[in-house]
Structure 1
Amino acid sequence: MKHGALTIVLVESPAPTIVRSPEIARTSGNTFGCLVRFAVANIRRRPERFVLAVLGIALAIACVTVVRTISASFAITGEDSVTDVLGSNQLWVVPAGGVHYDPDVRALIADGPAPTLSTPPDWTATRTLSGTTTVDGATVSLRGSDAVAPGRAAVGAGVAERLGIAPGATVDIGGQPLTAEIAGTGQSITVAAPLAGSLVGDNGWWTVAAPTGDEHRRDLAQLFGAATGLPATADPSVQPDPTGSGLIYDTVGGSGPLTFEQKFSALFSGKVTSSTLGVISTIGLILGFVIAVSSFLAAVAERKREFGIMSSIGLADEVLYFFLVESGITFLAAYLVGVLGAGVAVALVIPQIATFTAWGQAAGMVAAFIPAMAIVGALVPVHRLLQQRPVDLLGGR
């Protein structure tokens, strides 16, 4: 029997194609648009979970934003109040009792009589009396200065707006009618020293200007301290010795990039963020993050088979991207609800210290945490999901 030759024909098979879901195929390469639609579809399928997650995270964000807004408001207030006191002077000599910020009058108030000074030649020291008084039933910061003529009252723009005092209006202070003039942007009313002394006593401080040409020397406090016998510091957190005569605050000779005013404002801000309120807000933010992760873990548990199918046909990466997009949408919605709610709450509850600038600073600070929280919030449930084989996901285990 004659056998024919065996002929083998090799046929080159076409390259394997990546099978994508119909939804992805219709996007013409725009995978991100597909993922957004997937995320929105899942949100619409379980709107109650999305709403609860957003509200939980938003409440935490609102707590942090409120605290940060208060902190930023105090920081702005602290810097403005010090600038109002110092003017163009380089040194601030406070009494042994120190000074404090009075939130009712929104200004710094002296807690004792200004120390006795023997001013060196060419130095200019200006004594300012400081205390509080009542004007039209409202408590205000009152200062006394020899630069204000009798019968006149230099009213800061802030207190003028708060009390509705117009230029040229008559202001009754200590039973004396004074003609008001708007001076500066502060929250104090400055009158002649004798009138102020009859109301606030000798309480006050000194502001000192260096000799011409020496304004920017870094050793001004040391020179003036050696001439007057008073201690000096560039740290506003240092308080004067109650048993001493007073303390010199150096506003030009401190180290570091921050000015004295900025250090003083940071001191104000730190008191808020380190308080119990600040700790509670931080705990709230952590709880909000836990709520988000729990929500995504529940979503993974419900959709194991769906993601198992996606993983088995080569779409494991899309699973990760899907959760990143859904996490981003959730945190973005929570952020908007939280910061807007915080702004409304602060404006209604504490309008006297809340400003749009402070709210904007707080919202910007909180926004810096959102991307990281969204990414981590998606990675935790996805990591648990991808640790399993697609067959296990399809089997429902």
Structure 2
Amino acid sequence: MAATTLEETSSGTLERPAQIEAAAATLRNSTIVRLLRFALANVRRRPERFALAVFGIALAILSVTVVRTISSSFAITGSDSVTRVLDGASLWAVPAAGVHYDSEVGAIVADGPAPGLAVPDGWTATRTIAGVWSSGAGDLALYGSDAIDDGTAVVGSQAAETLGVRSGDTLAVGSADLAVTVGDGDAVVAVPEDVAGDVVGGNGWWTLTEPADLAGRNDLGSMMSAETGLPSTTDPAVQPEADGEGLIYDAVGGSGATTFEQKFSALFSGQVTSSAFGLISVIGLVLGFVIAISSFLAAVQERRREFGIMASIGLADEVLYFFLVESALVFLSAYLLGITFAGVAVWLVVPQIATPVAWLAAAGTVAAYLPAMAIVGALVPVHRLLQQRPVQLLGDSA
């Protein structure tokens, strides 16, 4: 009998940890479900407050997401545009009037004629005419260079879609009829230099490639500057002097792991986020957060007696957890609504630069703020509530 009792006791001892763990898991699951049901019941009790809070925060999230999406889109398209312009060259000599990214045509265009250059022996220099062509199908970026064969137009796939042409078709550019070859997915029409000059004028730039024995050096800009007299820089934020002859951008010089294309795209992105539009979006996000806290404070005021009873029986932590769940529910609903509306708004307003990648990047950036906002949104009203004794809560509500 003693052996049997010991065996049962040993068996019970071995099974007890698993039983306790299972019971604890069940308790945790039931607590989460209960808190979620409690939060949903409060939403059903005051649906108009929930809707207003969600809508207010969603508008704030929408404004921030739109700005971030446009910023990311400019960064992506700006980087692609610079890559398209350089086409593997190390130096980019721009006119004194500078260049700019034209969001209407989705490409970089020149604001003045290319500077005069005396290129050293061994270097390869390509002059590009760059302007906006008012075609019958709409405005498009038109690039002209000697690298394009006579009688040929290399049309980016986006431009080809706008023009409604395919490879082998004939495209009339000015007085020239050119055979179409559809190229990569940009919105640029590349034609021979003389054709482009007749249509958009002489504005443009130079791209320069060093000889093989100089490849890999990071002082190419200063070398070319010494040869031509034009200043050079590795910073795309630097603009040419108005009374100068031009500026050489060194795309391979400088230090650090950031490429010239990345610096150029970051410049575009920063212009959007630091603009008045970006400031308004941040203010909107703050106002949305204030709306959320105001809504939770009103909920606390209405349910003082209920929370007083919970606190009086030792369930003060449950009050905190309840508001955390409800706050998370509000912010999650607002987030999903806000980023959805933002995606629709961007695609309707600036479809030429909007990309799914940029929208996802913006949505991810905004999502990083939500946990902290939800926690603070719950802590502020709960802190005000728990500063009072249960007797005060019950007495004030009687």
TM-score under structure 2 length normalisation: 0.90
Amino acid of the structure 2 residue aligned with 1:56: G
Q: Which residue does the alignment assign to 1:20?
A: none
Shift of residue 246, structure 1, vs aligned partner: 0.8
Q: What per-residue deviation string (whole Å, max 9, x for no partner) do you get for residues 79-121 of structure 1? A: 1111110111111110111111222222111111111111122
When structure 1 is superposed on structure 2, of 241-250 and 100-109 the one drifting more is 100-109
- Residue 238 of structure 1 aligns to a residue whose secondary structure is coil
- Residue 130 of structure 1 aligns to a residue whose secondary structure is strand
Amino acid of the structure 2 residue aligned with 1:28: L
Q: Which residue does the alignment assign to 1:320?
A: 320
Q: Tell me, in whole angstroms, the C-alpha distance in 1 between the residues paired with 2:96 and 2:82.
A: 18
For residues 351 and 184 of structure 1, do their structure 2 counterparts lie closer, same or farther at Cα, with a shift above 3 Å needed?
Answer: closer
- Residue 212 of structure 2 aligns to a residue whose secondary structure is coil
For residues 77 and 26 of structure 1, do their structure 2 counterparts lie closer, same or farther at Cα, with a shift above 3 Å needed?
Answer: closer
For residues 149 and 286 of structure 1, do their structure 2 counterparts lie closer, same or farther at Cα, with a shift above 3 Å needed?
Answer: same
Gaps of 5+ in 1: 1-24
Q: Tell me, in whole angstroms, the C-alpha distance in 2 between the residues paired with 1:328 and 1:376.
A: 11
- Residue 395 of structure 1 aligns to a residue whose secondary structure is helix
Shift of residue 165, structure 1, vs aligned partner: 1.8
Q: Tell me, in whole angstroms, the C-alpha distance in 2 between the residues paired with 1:118 and 1:173.
A: 31
Q: Tell me, in whole angstroms, the C-alpha distance in 2 between the residues paired with 1:326 and 1:219.
A: 59
For residues 51 and 213 of structure 1, do their structure 2 counterparts lie closer, same or farther at Cα, with a shift above 3 Å needed?
Answer: farther
Q: What per-residue deviation string (whole Å, max 9, x for no partner) do you get for residues 11-59 of structure 1? A: xxxxxxxxxxxxxx99634322221121111111111111111011111
When structure 1 is superposed on structure 2, of 25-34 and 175-184 the one drifting more is 25-34
Q: Which residue does the alignment assign to 1:28?
A: 27
Shift of residue 231, structure 1, vs aligned partner: 0.6
Shift of residue 137, structure 1, vs aligned partner: 4.2
Q: Tell me, in whole angstroms, the C-alpha distance in 2 between the residues paired with 1:168 and 1:293.
A: 63
Q: Tell me, in whole angstroms, the C-alpha distance in 2 between the residues paired with 1:231 and 1:196.
A: 28
Shift of residue 352, structure 1, vs aligned partner: 2.1
Q: Is the 8 A contact 2:138 2:162 kept in 1?
A: no
Q: Which residue does the alignment assign to 2:21?
A: none
Q: Is the 8 A contact 2:173 2:199 kept in 1?
A: no
Matches within 5 A, 1:97-116: 97-116=97-116
Q: Tell me, in whole angstroms, the C-alpha distance in 2 between the residues paired with 1:81 and 1:346.
A: 20
For residues 284 and 128 of structure 1, do their structure 2 counterparts lie closer, same or farther at Cα, with a shift above 3 Å needed?
Answer: same
1:302 aligns with 2:302: yes
Matches within 5 A, 1:33-182: 33-182=33-182
Which has the larger share of helix? Answer: 2
Q: How many matched pairs? A: 373
TM-score under structure 1 length normalisation: 0.90
Q: Which residue does the alignment assign to 1:184?
A: 184
Q: Which residue does the alignment assign to 1:9?
A: none
Q: Tell me, in whole angstroms, the C-alpha distance in 2 between the residues paired with 1:189 and 1:262.
A: 24
Q: Which residue does the alignment assign to 2:11?
A: none
Shift of residue 380, structure 1, vs aligned partner: 0.4
Q: Tell me, in whole angstroms, the C-alpha distance in 2 between the residues paired with 1:326 and 1:257.
A: 44
Q: Is the 8 A contact 2:115 2:246 kept in 1?
A: yes
- Residue 27 of structure 2 aligns to a residue whose secondary structure is coil
Q: What per-residue deviation string (whole Å, max 9, x for no partner) do you get for residues 313-352 of structure 1? A: 1111111111111100100000001111111122223222
Q: Which residue does the alignment assign to 1:241?
A: 241
Q: Is the 8 A contact 2:106 2:352 kept in 1?
A: no
Matches within 5 A, 1:222-371: 222-371=222-371
Amino acid of the structure 2 residue aligned with 1:281: S
Q: What per-residue deviation string (whole Å, max 9, x for no partner) do you get for residues 259-280 of structure 1? A: 1111111111122212221111
- Residue 71 of structure 2 aligns to a residue whose secondary structure is helix
Amino acid of the structure 2 residue aligned with 1:186: D
Q: Tell me, in whole angstroms, the C-alpha distance in 1 between the residues paired with 2:34 and 2:247.
A: 66
Shift of residue 201, structure 1, vs aligned partner: 3.0
Q: Which residue does the alignment assign to 1:206?
A: 206
Amino acid of the structure 1 residue aligned with 2:313: I
When structure 1 is superposed on structure 2, of 106-115 and 254-263 the one drifting more is 254-263
Amino acid of the structure 1 residue aligned with 2:298: A
Q: What per-residue deviation string (whole Å, max 9, x for no partner) do you get for residues 228-260 of structure 1? A: 111111111111012111101111113333211
- Residue 101 of structure 1 aligns to a residue whose secondary structure is strand
Q: Is the 8 A contact 1:134 1:173 kept in 2?
A: no
- Residue 132 of structure 1 aligns to a residue whose secondary structure is strand
Q: Is the 8 A contact 1:27 1:33 kept in 2?
A: no
Amino acid of the structure 2 residue aligned with 1:83: T
Q: What per-residue deviation string (whole Å, max 9, x for no partner) do you get for residues 137-193 of structure 1? A: 422211211122221111122211232221111100112211011233332211112
When structure 1 is superposed on structure 2, of 168-177 and 133-142 the one drifting more is 133-142
Q: Is the 8 A contact 2:137 2:162 kept in 1?
A: no
Shift of residue 211, structure 1, vs aligned partner: 2.1
For residues 328 and 233 of structure 1, do their structure 2 counterparts lie closer, same or farther at Cα, with a shift above 3 Å needed?
Answer: same
Q: Tell me, in whole angstroms, the C-alpha distance in 1 between the residues paired with 2:261 and 2:378.
A: 42
For residues 60 and 121 of structure 1, do their structure 2 counterparts lie closer, same or farther at Cα, with a shift above 3 Å needed?
Answer: same
Over aligned residue pairs, what C-alpha RMSD do you find?
Answer: 1.7
When structure 1 is superposed on structure 2, of 72-81 and 379-388 the one drifting more is 72-81
Shift of residue 60, structure 1, vs aligned partner: 1.0
